[in-house]
Amino acid sequence: MGILDRLFGNKPTASIASVGNSPAEQLLTGEIPRSSSEQGSRSTPEDALQRLYRQFWVDYELRQVILDIRNMDRLDGRVKRIHMRSSRAAAKGGIKLVAPGQPKWLQTEFDAFCRRLHLNRRDKLESDIRGLMMEGNLPMQWVLDGNQSQVISCARMPAETIVPNVGKSGIFEHPEKAFTQRDIYTSQEVAHFGLWQLTMARLTPDNYDDFGSMGRPYLDANRSIWKKLTATEEDLVIRRRMRAPLRAVHTMEGASEEQLADYRAGVERDQAAGAYRDYYMNRKGSVTAMQGDANLDQIADVDLLLDTFFAGAPAPKGLFGYVKDLNRDVLADLQTDFYDELDALQDNTAWTYEQGFRLHLLLRGRNPDAYEFCVEFAERRTDTPNQRADHALKLQALGLPKQVVWEAAGIDIAAAERAAAQQKATADPYPNGDGGNPDPNNPAPSKGARVSVTPGNGRKGDSATNISTSTATR
């Protein structure tokens, strides 16, 4: 029985396990290795109660968190900026296949895989990463062609409608129905997905070993702070509107109610018409100016809530426009934490794409475990091109291999090798113009670059790189 029959047939799991499957086939068919001893429960009592409830409906807590995050993203530009900037920075450079020493057809197959699934487009990568941040999960459905011979598309499913069907041990008991999509209004089952058909990447789950433990949205713990912050800002606007304007107290001694009403009507009529004037009285009285609230500039409570809100953000508030009282050196140190958060987002998303590519290789009749490769994002950190080049030159000065230097510089090694081969194929076979025989009396000069590193001579005590070009003769 072939791999396609085992993947798409109606054979039970027991018959599948009887065939000698590779680790990759075990992953896709759901044959999860188990020890001979009985496995206990990996979930807490609260999780066990939620698992019982999910048999009839979706995870209501996760759904409410996702709805709150989406509402925050639509109403608050700061939340939208956090999601957009983080996803754009993480998707910068696209994805690549790291397969040193592997056959060239593997890279060709991966390039075609990316084109079909639109993974070569930055907006697709940004959408997936933004969905992972806002929903805490990245459920990716793999769509096959009619002949079930290759993966032709990947669709990100709404995480709040996906229910993992796991037992008390936290593993999938029926891999052919590993995930169920439910209608949130009727609680009816919309579709079932096998373990090979839907890949779930989770962001900071409560228990990684429990596959029923869903991930958490990035700003889920910031919801209460965001509500307090928006309420305080609204109260501040109302307070300014009610207490900031300058007012006047008109005192008319001995005036009757009719006289006071006529005087008030005249003053308000002039103010409504914009004709502000002096006031004249024929009896004893006075007009005293009343200043507005003198403490309107004291918004320390808003600053406190802002600091608390951005404490749970992937980057400091200085990267999102709040640069008040922020030292540049401190901001540079905080950027390092931001890069670490981006690396985590990239790792989760790249792992999802790698599982889809492994499925594609199986459908093409290849065993992915026979080849050493991984899918990564081209730019692991949001450094500038000059910073990446400087880091690569330092590695070159240490004598590291060319492949390591190119990866540090953010260069796609496979694309560079293809360009070099194409240039070599189209180059002039006789560069000297005399049939390829160089003149021994007039040798052509060859240039070499000398790289030196000076420790402690750069910004903030970093090392400085010096590049000098020397000319040598053959």
Residue 188 lies in a domain: yes
Which pLDDT does position 20 carry in this prediction?
Answer: 43
Q: Long-range contacts for 453-460 (Cβ within 8 Å, ≥24 apart)? A: 453/394, 453/397, 460/329, 460/332
Residue 331 lies in a domain: no
Q: What is the CA radius of gyration of the chain?
A: 33
High-pLDDT (> 90) share of the chain, %: 29
**Residue 397 lies in domain:** 383-430
Which neighbouring-strand residues pair with 96? 376
Q: Do both 228 and 83 map to the same domain? A: no
Residue 151 lies in a domain: yes
Answer whether 172's CB lies under 8 Å from 211's CB. yes
Instruction: With a cut of 60, say whether residue 174 has pLDDT above it.
Output: yes
Give the helix, strand, coil percentages of the chain, each rounded to 5. Answer: 45, 15, 40
Report the alpha-carbon distance of residue 307 to residue 441 in Å, rounded: 73
Q: Do both 212 and 228 map to the same domain? A: no
Instruction: With a cut of 80, say whether residue 432 has pLDDT above it.
Output: no
Give the pLDDT mean for 66-81.
Answer: 92
Which pLDDT does position 16 carry in this prediction?
Answer: 31
Residue 285 lies in a domain: yes
Residue 111 lies in a domain: yes
pLDDT in tens, 185-235: 887 888 999 999 999 999 999 888 888 889 999 999 889 989 988 888 887
Classify each residue of 203-215 as buried b or exposed e, where b means 16 or more C-beta atoms within 10 Å of its C-beta.
Answer: bebeeeebbbbbb
Confidence tier at 400 by pLDDT (50, 70, 90):
confident
Q: Do both 25 and 164 map to the same domain? A: yes
Q: Do both 45 and 154 map to the same domain? A: yes
Q: What is the mean pLDDT of the chain?
A: 77
Q: Do both 310 and 363 map to the same domain? A: no
- Based on the structure, what is the number of domains in the chain? 3
Residue 459 lies in a domain: no
Residue 326 lies in a domain: no
Answer whether 412's CB lies under 8 Å from 375's CB. no
pLDDT in tens, 132-151: 999 999 999 999 988 888 99
Report the alpha-carbon distance of residue 85 to residue 274 in Å, rounded: 47
Nearest to 197 by CA among 117, 136, 158, 140: 140
Give me the helix-helix angle, 104-116 and 328-363, nearest 10°.
Answer: 100
* Residue with the two structure tokens 């229910």: 163
Q: Do both 159 and 210 map to the same domain? A: yes
